[in-house]
Structure 1
């Protein structure tokens, strides 16, 4: 994957756009607030206690369903175009990979309706984002992945293949998700995933849309593009255990992260910046801890600087991977990453894990073969 670079970022989140949000996250700021319309009864005082969540206020106020996701996605796309300096007319030879949530949690939380439940009408969503975002991307170059958290790794892998074959000039990769719909909150409560007064070890719900562009390095440099990271490697792995079948032993996550770290093992001696979607769920914490134990011999993971996007943005599902890319790239741009390499590891509840490694940009980047 040498010779592929990140040339633009866009974000809509509870902490605002990409520059503001990443700076705020670095400072430990969040805007978690009470969601008055949803909560639980505190048995000690017999009163209703609202949950806390990370709403994109006021952007999504009054919007539900696909309309809410379109609001998020359109705002993030506007931010992306402004950040990258590209115009809508520049995107006719661009592929669009949109990652959205799967039906896994719904199939567990709503067994009577089965796996057919989907939070997102993905086919219409990607078309709506192109329409409202004024993106002239051909329909045959619009791809939807129901990858949850790990989907960013799959999207990047497929995008690099299109770039390698010169099918497109660049690829737009992103994700959009919201865990703040009432039906979703009810499902998460039943599954004991949500942080409430009766379940203090769950996660806070959030919502976001995050995007970034990938392009071959040589043409990007020739046109004077804003290059802030290079893509080094990407990997995905699957383990048989899922969130509701038993404890995770971290094998899938360790495999995905170990695969991408092989690409830089001989190039970097100090610890890398590591970003993972640890979110307050004990199952994911056990997975993360055991994965680190499995990778204890890897130099880049000895006392790394570790960031967890849900701490600042809440649980953002399918948008978490692209959001993590934004955080890493901004860390390179502002020179506070503490390492020339960033490892992004993403865990999905269904058992699939993804990982990718980014590198701070250098002067010479080899061409794609």
Structure 2
């Protein structure tokens, strides 16, 4: 399914292991700063300390839902800063929120959403309303962006899009180790667990003018698909789902133009690399260089549901700081549950 076009990015917010704001996080990735470190007490099945990428400014004693709040609330507030002058006169801004896949150590997604909303009431005077929750893991943030595109094209003026995830919970780390997903000397194709929250304020072109917002970038298309041949099915995955999502986003690329930048959630898992390889074998002519993928998991670890909105931040930073190779960026994310999502971003 393809989301409608011409929605604008008007604000960004982020909290990651490499930064306490959107600009700082993007600059750290640009500089190649890495925040991998041994966990203070967790060891893997081989007895070695687990390596994680944690937000050091959040105390290690803060766990569970409180850790999600510590990451998400400041990121949401940062993304809403461009509306500070007019916030008191607005109706509550609807939020499309990306969350992890359901896990036993996490509270139900409805509880996470309600707690986030309650935590914002004091600092933001209740001017947000969480209207849709996507519990889809890696693809959740871009699925939320697709939802926002649909809302804006149905007449909404403003939306807040975001995702939050933390793999730092001890029970989560143990689960990853048992399922051979934790990167270690034993599991070389695993990933480094990270945590982050990221949000984007998106607006219609009319709202940009009405509220005096400065355009950061344009989201030209968002598309999603389902991969049936996931690794857990035992069938060979040839990237059909990801190919369809990429094709949906690329359909909005102007004739003769090519994608200049690619941002993907490759994290060291071999199946992800294989899936993307199959996809670009079909679509490679649409890219300047489809193999030149920005993989920020190398800096902040795997950040799951926050990935898509963080990729938006990186694409915007490349444009604003003038190190972008060209105007067109393609973002893609893949969930273990089969969701595949892609977004095309172009000049504002």
Aligned residue runs from structure 1 range 279-298, under 5 A: 279-296=267-284, 298=285
Q: How many angstroms apart in 1 are the aligned matches of 2:290 and 2:109?
A: 40
Q: How many angstroms apart in 1 are the aligned matches of 2:100 and 2:214?
A: 30
Q: How many angstroms apart in 2 are the aligned matches of 1:128 and 1:91?
A: 22
- Equivalence for 1:364: none
Q: How many angstroms apart in 2 are the aligned matches of 1:187 and 1:41?
A: 11
- Equivalence for 1:61: 60
The partner residue of 1:193 within 177, 181, 185 is 181
| Aligned residue-pair number | 340
Aligned residue runs from structure 1 range 268-347, under 5 A: 268=257, 270-296=258-284, 298-300=285-287, 302-303=289-290, 305-347=292-334
- Equivalence for 1:365: none
- Equivalence for 1:71: 70
How far 1:340 moved relative to its partner?
Answer: 0.4
> Residue 330 of structure 2 aligns to a residue in which SS?
strand
From the superposition, tell whether residues 233 and 89 of structure 1 become closer, same or farther in structure 2 (CA, over 3 Å): same
> Residue 287 of structure 2 aligns to a residue in which SS?
helix
How far 1:83 moved relative to its partner?
Answer: 5.9
> Residue 295 of structure 1 aligns to a residue in which SS?
helix
Q: How many angstroms apart in 2 are the aligned matches of 1:87 and 1:14?
A: 32
How far 1:60 moved relative to its partner?
Answer: 4.3
The partner residue of 1:5 within 8, 14, 19 is 8
Q: How many angstroms apart in 2 are the aligned matches of 1:326 and 1:90?
A: 27
> Residue 244 of structure 1 aligns to a residue in which SS?
helix
> Residue 133 of structure 1 aligns to a residue in which SS?
helix
Q: How many angstroms apart in 2 are the aligned matches of 1:282 and 1:28?
A: 22
- 1:232-279: CA deviations, max 9, x gaps? 0011111211232234211111111122112114151x4421010000
Aligned residue runs from structure 1 range 1-369, under 5 A: 1-16=4-19, 17-40=21-44, 42=46, 48-82=47-81, 85=84, 88-89=87-88, 92-103=91-102, 106=103, 117=104, 119-134=106-121, 135=124, 136-137=126-127, 142-166=131-155, 168-246=156-234, 247-266=236-255, 268=257, 270-296=258-284, 298-300=285-287, 302-303=289-290, 305-361=292-348
- 1:183-235: CA deviations, max 9, x gaps? 11111111101102211221000000000011011221343212110010011
- 1:90-115: CA deviations, max 9, x gaps? 55241111110113xx5xxxxxxxxx
Contact 2:158–2:207, Cα closer than 8 Å, also in 1: no
Q: How many angstroms apart in 1 are the aligned matches of 2:158 and 2:213?
A: 12
> Residue 274 of structure 2 aligns to a residue in which SS?
helix
TM-score normalised per structure 2:
0.91
Q: How many angstroms apart in 2 are the aligned matches of 1:151 and 1:183?
A: 22
Q: How many angstroms apart in 1 are the aligned matches of 2:218 and 2:297?
A: 25
- Structure 1: stretches of 5+ with no match in the other structure: 43-47, 107-116, 362-369
Contact 2:80–2:201, Cα closer than 8 Å, also in 1: no
From the superposition, tell whether residues 93 and 58 of structure 1 become closer, same or farther in structure 2 (CA, over 3 Å): closer
